[in-house]
Amino acid sequence: MTVHAAEAVLDEPPIVTDGKTVTDVTEDVCRPVERGPTIWWFLAFGVALAALIFGAVAVYHTVTVGIGTWGLNRTIGWAFDITNFVFWVGIGHAGTLISAILLLFRQKWRMSIARAAEAMTIFAVCCAGLFPILHMGRPWLGFWNIPYPNSRALWVNFRSPLLWDVFAISTYLIISAVFWYVGLVPDLATVRDRAKGKVRKFVYGLLSLGWDGSARTWARYEVACLLLAGLAAPLVVSVHSVVSFDFATSLLPGWHATIFPPYFVTGAIFSGFAMVLTLLIITRKVLGIQAYITIKHLENMCKVILVTGMLVGLAYGTEMFIAFYSGNEHERFVFMNRATGPMAWSYWIMVGCNVLSPQILWFKRARTSVPIMFVVSILVNVGMWFERFVIIVTTLHRDFLPANWSSYSPTWTEVGMFVGSFGLFFTLFLLFVRVAPVVAMAEVKSILHARPHHDAATETKEARHVEPKEVHA
């Protein structure tokens, strides 16, 4: 490293602000886990649980009565169900991107947000996974999608993108969950070490897998994390590519497009970051961890949103252009119909939210203003939901034979399942912030030294360069 470069590193603003010490990190992060829940938590949990119960009623109604309780028809076979599926899978992308890809690229600012983002990923994939099961006419036979030896001569169709989804989503869920859990182990050990009650000590003891904080343990931990990051990194690209094959390998104009894999991956990162932003803005405020998840973090995420938002916009433009350039009358019609047809409102919500609203993030003042970025993040979430809705419903509702054309409006059951998925997501997330450290303490401690203008007077007894072992001493 040249001197110049080293100086540049030293000039970097601190990632963790307010002069937090190693002790502060432990105290601040463990506090929500060790303290009783606040009234805000109860309030939020109540709302989330209510939404989840509403969703459960909708699911019960669907499973007992039939898919006929939805607004689908012979022309439109998917709408809210698969829209929600792709939406949640997309949300689930940011976590792995932040923890795996940014880890491999050694982006240290990721450390404060990685834990929450990973948790979000897992919960989002859980929500996503529900919809392909519940959208089936006979969900109780959903296990027929799994190739397992049986005496009924049942087998799966390896040519079907839906089957690829089964593998992609389950792989993604497993790798993400393992990655997340392995990353949690040292922090769970911290909670264990600080635990007062017997039960608490026992539970966290089990969960921390006998972590002893030895150098050898740390070394193996680091290697395991790197290997898992290496495994998870390609999934960031593959999962949403596979999801996009559901559409790209079909023959419907508006679905049958080679642009779909990169377009979907970009969109997934875009929506994932927006969701992380939404969540962290609330979490850092509610848990009082603004010093760890700083404006700088939020600004970085805004930059990612701005870039991916424009990539998504480019994809919209490319789709339009290719539709006209191809000379395919069906293709042209579908895109004209999206922009000007009876469901054009959904298209323009999508363009407005996804392409126009992030443009405000060109301005530093907007990028560093929490209210503005909060609104933008919500708009992007809305827009990305509508992107999937537009792709699915506006393609289906007017396809090849005009005699088949139809229209769509959702029923309360479909809305209920959509709301319920948010209920499930937030219920899980709220439980998560109560039982596990929401910021990766061990990792964050490793970057405390990066503060170039550290005030010696406030320095604690702990060394600047923290040996991992000392954390648990």
Q: Within 184-213, which residues bind other proteins (CB under 8 A)?
A: none
Task: Report residue 426 as tokens.
Answer: 């937030």
Contact between 319 and 260 under an 8 Å Cβ cutoff? The reply is no
Sorted by sequence, the CB contacts under 8 Å of residue 23 that are 6+ apart come out as 460, 462
- We find the least distance from the C-beta atom of residue 322 to other proteins, in angstroms, to be 17
Q: How far apart are CA 450 and CA 107, in angstroms?
A: 13
At its nearest, how many Å lie between other proteins and the CB of residue 156? 6
b/e 151-174 (16+ beta carbons within 10 angstroms → b): eeeeeeeeeebebbbbbbbebbbe
Choices 155-163, 189-197, 267-275, 348-356 (CB under 8 A): range interacting with other proteins: 155-163
If one asks whether residue 339 binds other proteins (CB under 8 A), the answer comes out as no
Q: Determine, following the binding rule CB under 8 A, whether residue 28 of this chain makes contact with other proteins.
A: no
* CA–CA distance, 296 with 340 (Å, rounded to integer): 41
Q: How far apart are CA 126 and CA 118, in angstroms?
A: 12
CB contact at 8 A, 243 and 168 = yes
Could you say which of 157, 214, 340, 460 contacts other proteins (CB under 8 A)?
A: 157
- What is the Cα 39 distance to its own chain's centre? 27
Q: Which one, 10 or 141, has the nearer CB to other proteins?
A: 141
Which residue among 10, 104, 162, 215 contacts other proteins (CB under 8 A)? 162
Is 343 an interacting residue with respect to other proteins (CB under 8 A)? no
121 contacts: CB under 8 Å, gap ≥ 6? 91, 92, 93, 94, 95, 96, 176, 180, 272
Q: Report the C-alpha gap between 132 and 283 in whole angstroms.
A: 30
370 binds other proteins (CB under 8 A): no
**Using only C-alpha atoms, what is the Rg of the chain?**
24
Q: In this chain, which of 19, 24, 45, 142 binds other proteins, going by CB under 8 A? A: 142
Tell me: does residue 182 bind other proteins (CB under 8 A): no
Cα 28 to Cα 32: distance, rounded to the nearest angstrom: 8
Query: Is 136 among the residues that bind other proteins (CB under 8 A)?
Result: yes
Binding-site residue total for other proteins (CB under 8 A)? 49
* Residue 101 DSSP label: I
Q: 65 or 223: whose CB is closer to other proteins?
A: 65
Binding other proteins (rule: CB under 8 A), the pick from 18, 406, 452, 460 is: 406
* Residue of 20, 110, 135, 192 interacting with other proteins (CB under 8 A): 135
Residue with tokens 């407005």: 352
In the block, which residue shows the tokens 């909670």? 191
- One character per residue 210-249, x = contact with other proteins (rule: CB under 8 A): ------------------------------------x--x
Query: Per rule CB under 8 A, is residue 400 in the interface with other proteins?
Result: yes
Region binding other proteins by CB under 8 A among candidate stretches 61-69, 299-307, 450-458, 464-472:
61-69
Q: Does 161 bind other proteins (CB under 8 A)?
A: yes
Nearby residues of 25 by Cβ (< 8 Å), 6 or more positions away:
16, 292, 439, 441, 444, 445, 448
For other proteins, the binding residue among 4, 35, 159, 465 (CB under 8 A) is 159
Q: Is 148 an interacting residue with respect to other proteins (CB under 8 A)?
A: no
CA distance 57 to 423: 12
Which of the ranges 26-34, 74-82, 209-217, 301-309 carries the binding residues for other proteins, by CB under 8 A? Answer: 74-82
Residues whose CB is less than 8 angstroms from the CB of residue 392 and which lie 6 or more positions away in sequence, other chains included: 78, 79, 82, 83, 86, 247
Cβ-count burial 205-221 (b if 16+ within 10 Å, e if not): bebbeebebeeebbeeb
Helix or strand holding residue 305 (H, E): helix 295-326
Q: Write the DSSP symbol of residue 37.
A: P
Query: Which of these ranges, 67-75, 367-375, 433-441, 444-452, lies near other proteins under the rule CB under 8 A?
Result: 67-75
Q: Which is nearer to other proteins, 139 or 352 (CB)?
A: 139
Measured from the CB of residue 240, what is the shortest distance to other proteins in angstroms?
18
Shortest reach from residue 122's CB to other proteins, in Å:
24
What x-and-dash track marks residues 87-126 binding other proteins by CB under 8 A? ----------------------------------------
Q: Give the one residue of 54, 78, 80, 131 binding other proteins; rule: CB under 8 A.
A: 78
Residue among 163 and 224 whose Cβ is closer to other proteins? 163
Binding segment for other proteins (CB under 8 A), chosen from 6-14, 28-36, 346-354, 403-411, is: 403-411
Render 163-188 in DSSP notation, one character per residue: HHHHHHHHHHHHHHHHHHHHHHHHHH
| Residues found near other proteins in the complex (CB under 8 A) | 65-68, 71-75, 77-78, 132, 135-139, 141-142, 144-145, 154-157, 159-163, 166, 246, 249-252, 329-330, 333, 396, 398-406
